[in-house]
Amino acid sequence: MAQIEVLTEDSRWLDAGLPGLAEKGCLAALAEMQLDGPYEISLMGCDDARVAELNAEFRGKPTPTNVLSWPSEERAAQVPGMIPQLPGDAPHEMELGDIAIAFETCAREAEQGGITFDDHVTHLLVHATLHLLGFDHLNEPDAALMEGLETRILAKLGISDPYMT
């Protein structure tokens, strides 16, 4: 079973139950991809200021965002719209990568979207976990694949399709 190491830089994440939400969202994404090995994910629950620093450092965008992810390896598919090269069971493939999630942005987006905070955070953790596995949304075929997976995973968790308008 996968292990999710949760570091909370912002105590509001403890009150929000981030470890439980991480287990729910991250493990659901891994299960959907039939990955049941002892994979590892590091998750940092922080505030907008910290995520803005990370976003500036790694993406050149000095603004907060809801979630960031750093895969441990490049796993992207060679052909748009195809499943990426999923990790195997070699020891060096067990660490999937890191995720950082911003409290204020998540809370604001949930309120603006009329959805519960828990459902929104779960969706973002599914989304970020898929990024760790090599999925992306930089082009239409990849976006369609990733959004379809997210919708299917969330439906299994009883969460509405976040892409319905």
What sign does the dihedral 117-119-121-127 (CA atoms) show?
A: negative
Beta bridge partners of 4: 41
Backbone angles phi, psi at 47, to 5 degrees: -105, 175
Two structure tokens written together for 74: 């490049």
Amino acid at 91: P
Report the 10 Å Cβ neighbour count for 140.
Answer: 10
To the question of whether residue 127 is assigned a binding role by annotation, the answer is yes
Say if CB 8 and CB 14 are below 8 A apart: yes
Q: Could you list the residues known to form a binding site, using ranges.
A: 127, 131, 137
Binding residues for Zn(2+) are 127, 131, 137
